[in-house]
Structure 1
Amino acid sequence: MQAFTVHSAEFIKGVRSLKDLPGGKIPEFAFAGRSNVGKSTLINRLCQRKELARTGSKPGRTRELNFYRINLSGAHLKNFALHLVDLPGFGYASFSKQQRESISRLIVKYCTTGNNLRALILLIDSKRKPEDDELALYELCLSNNIPVIAVATKMDRLKQSERAKALKVISGPLGLMPEDILHSGNKTPLMKIWARIAAYID
């Protein structure tokens, strides 16, 4: 497996309106999923920075599109600039209906009109099957020709005997094979995720 090196990683800005998106043509890779699924944690681990993206035990911390600029080398890339985008988590029950709808509109609008979006990384908790909002976002992206990288989170919390079943439960509703699902956990190498991301960069 090709090794990837993160040379630098920094927070750029938080966005609540698409008119405030960063300018330029830097490729973007968005991380989406339900609240508390581990988006910010995965970004920190990919970038080898403990506090790059804010994390917390309380769901719903991220309420805007948070952009992080990464300089990456590996495969065909050499000190290449890209943006990782931490999307607000959806499905958080403590949000008001208006807040949930506002977040949903922001995510949908970004995923359908973001000109620099190269792929969506959809994170799904390994302890359950994909829910309607996750499936809807998955189908929305595919219908707009946006590739989706499915990642099962918290796999390290499952027994070894439970992991194969979990991947089947997640992959089935997405129309994928278990081996198509990448997974993330404290003991899981992240090179496969970087390799999948790099594959969508010319």
Structure 2
Amino acid sequence: MKIRSVEFIKSAVSPEHYPTEGFPEIALVGKSNVGKSSLINTLVSRKKLAKTSSTPGKTRTINFYKLDCIVSDGRVRSFYLVDLPGYGYAKVPRSERKSWREFIEDYFQSSKGLSAMAVLLDARRDPTETESNIYRWAGELELPVVTVFTKSDKLSNNKMASRRAIIKKKLHLGEVVIFSSLSGKGKAELLGVMEELLDTQDS
């Protein structure tokens, strides 16, 4: 899958603000500072489309990006890449962490276009209960999921292989995409997997 064009559509804080064009959506879910914004910028080859922040937990809205892509059979296909607020930042008050869960669950339940989920994990960190819950939600919604290990450039190949085995076992994962926003590693693979996820929902 090759990206032909990309456009930031809107930020939303409640279901009535979600786009209504009916395109399928792939939601990006991950901890604060796991690299969601950097991943988006790398995927679409735009340095500043999604704003990155050194302050974890800054994003408080759901951001919708419309991608027009040329898929394997030559057709043009459009979908939304949906950047969900990050979770798990310790300095965020407990009440706000609870609010995050309700905010995200509301999106999962209310979105009419949600077709797949990309769960971003920092391979250097052990998974938490929140990650387990995210995979559970995906299962309950019968959503296909791709797991992406971000910041792969921070680990040696041997260390990455070890961490991948540990996390896959703990979360009962299938294959994962190893991604680096610095080198672009995993970009083509992830776009290919996203095309497959969208095709799965069509069938």
Query: Per the shorter chain, which TM-score range?
Result: over 0.9
Equivalent residues of 1:128, 1:170 under 8 A apart = no
User: Is 1:7 aligned with 2:4?
Assistant: yes
CA RMSD of aligned residues (A): 1.4
Over the matched positions of the two proteins, sequence identity in percent amounts to 34
In the aligned structure 1, how far is the partner of 2:194 from the partner of 2:62?
Answer: 19
In the aligned structure 2, how far is the partner of 1:152 from the partner of 1:112?
Answer: 26
Instruction: Name the aligned partner's letter for residue 137 of structure 1.
Output: I
After TM superposition, the structure 1 = structure 2 runs for residues 37-76 of structure 1, keeping only pairs within 5 Å, are 37-76=34-73
Instruction: Name the aligned partner's letter for residue 124 of structure 1.
Output: L
Unaligned runs of 5+ in 1: none
- How many residues are matched? 197
Q: Show CA shifts across 1:42-84 (max 9, x none).
A: 0111111111111022211211110001111131363321100
TM-score, reference length from structure 2 = 0.92
User: Is 1:163 aligned with 2:160?
Assistant: yes
Q: Which residue pairs with 1:95 in the alignment?
A: 92
The runs of 4+ residues in structure 1 deviating greater than 4 Å are: none
Unaligned runs of 5+ in 2: none
TM-score, reference length from structure 1 = 0.92
Q: Which residue pairs with 1:36 in the alignment?
A: 33
In the aligned structure 2, how far is the partner of 1:71 from the partner of 1:77?
Answer: 12
Q: Which range moved further: 141-150 or 91-100?
A: 91-100
1:97 Cα offset (Å): 2.1
1:28 Cα offset (Å): 0.4
1:90 Cα offset (Å): 0.5
Q: Which range moved further: 107-116 or 33-42?
A: 107-116
